Structure 1
Amino acid sequence: MKHKKVPGVPNQIKGGYHDTENKVTYPNSEDLEKSFNTAKKKLFDINNWSNYTSDVIAEFVLCDQEGIVVERDPQIGDYVKILLKAKPNPQKKDYIWVRIDMIDHSNPNSLMMQMRPSTLPGNQFGGNIMHFYSSGSTLTFIVSKGNNYVKAAVYGRNEKANTNTDLLSGIKNRLTALGARFGSQKIQWKTFTEMLLNNK
């Protein structure tokens, strides 16, 4: 199946991709606006993504450009550190890192945020990419509304394994990326979009 062409989402050139969408219709504008505003608030509440549903197993933490944990709305240039599996005392190497490259709320009917794998904060122009995908991969989150619906979507583009690292990490990244490409990541993001549209 071919990838969707969505305004604001990078073109698919090479590697894996996914289009994860969820839509809920509403009988009246009041319920629609409530759901839309709730979904936007949840999308920006990165530190609580894993708390909104037990089905999202990763832990997400918003950090500023220096890597310091912050409790606020995300900004362009911020980082998100992600712990894929719960560990009692996680070390720096246990996290993967992404950088927020774009936030667009110029359209009153949508909110868009885009991330890509990154180096550690403070090493934007040097150091290894701390992710199992390469820096050319992107993840775009969109919350939008229509006449009678609210839609939450996550679009992955150009998902290639990060092999620019040591041999053992390169093999691990290939296996993780392969698993994500064959559905495990799709299931996670499907649950995530459902969470955004759940008004609880």
Structure 2
Amino acid sequence: MKHPDHLVPDNIKGAKTDTISTESFSSTQLARNHYLEARQRLLSISRWHEYAGLASADFSLTDNLGKEKKDFVTEGDRFKIDIPAPGTESGAGFDWVEVEKVEEGRNDEEDWEYTLIRVRPADNPQSDDNNTAHFFSDEANSYFIVKRVGNDVSAEVHGRNEQPNTETDKIQDKIRNAIVAVGAILGVSKAQWKSLTHGIVKI
């Protein structure tokens, strides 16, 4: 089992992002208690907008068919994302990602634990359109992590292999994706992720 500082792979191509917010505690027990609270927030996808603030993107958790869910995220689910920008035609106005992995680890001897969600851009499960409905190509991954190492609890978002999704056969989406992706790569999404990590881990 990997140490929580080594969960995210190296970037292969395109851009990458790394956003981390940390709270420190005076004892392991206090840190452990807060980790459990932050973990609940991480797994409650449809409340991320509440944690990140009104100016952030709005995330809705759905099952693999696109039907909204209110419980915790599981592998095979989707996120339907309403970002503060024009949406895709393929995604019916939304960006979509698929949950590839939900993983937890713990090592009492080394005094750490983590919860991880890995997602990848995907098509809109409510449509027959097979185009990737996201501004990044389906080679990208995002990693959402809450971890405790000793007395420190962190929330993290890491993006890997981020490249504009210009393979779609819809011209309007191709232009939109290029513009939004370049903005994200240049740092527009950094504030979004910092708001989210802070909201998940704050005391």
Is TM more than 0.5 here?
yes
**Conservation of the 8 A alpha-carbon contact between 1:119 and 1:128:** yes
Cα offset for 1:57?
1.8
**Aligned to 1:22, what secondary structure does the other structure show?**
strand
Name stretches of at least 5 consecutive residues in structure 1 with no aligned partner: 1-5
1:189 is matched with: 193
For 1:39-50, list aligned pairs within 5 A.
39-50=38-49
1:142 is matched with: 145
Match of 2:99, as an amino acid? I
Match of 1:21, as an amino acid? I
Q: Scaled by the length of structure 2, what TM-score is found?
A: 0.86
Matches of 2:91 and 2:97, distance apart in 1: 14
Matches of 2:30 and 2:197, distance apart in 1: 18
1:122–1:86 distance in 2 versus 1, CA, 3 Å? closer
1:127 is matched with: 130
Matches of 2:91 and 2:138, distance apart in 1: 19
1:179 is matched with: 183
Cα offset for 1:56?
4.8
CA RMSD of aligned residues (A): 2.3
2:30 is matched with: 31
Cα offset for 1:168?
2.3
**Aligned to 1:93, what secondary structure does the other structure show?**
coil
Match of 2:158 among 148, 155, 173: 155
1:164 is matched with: 167
- 1:112 and 2:113 are equivalent in the alignment: no
**Aligned to 1:21, what secondary structure does the other structure show?**
strand
Q: Deviations over 1:122-175 (max 9, x none)?
A: 779x71000000000000011111112111111100000001122222111111
Q: Scaled by the length of structure 1, what TM-score is found?
A: 0.87
Q: How many residues align?
A: 191
**Conservation of the 8 A alpha-carbon contact between 1:58 and 1:86:** no
Matches of 2:185 and 2:30, distance apart in 1: 36
**Aligned to 2:180, what secondary structure does the other structure show?**
helix
Name stretches of at least 5 consecutive residues in structure 2 with no aligned partner: 108-112
Cα offset for 1:83?
0.7
Matches of 1:56 and 1:189, distance apart in 2: 12
1:195–1:129 distance in 2 versus 1, CA, 3 Å? same
**Conservation of the 8 A alpha-carbon contact between 1:63 and 1:79:** yes
Matches of 2:136 and 2:188, distance apart in 1: 15
Cα offset for 1:38?
1.0
Matches of 2:184 and 2:85, distance apart in 1: 18
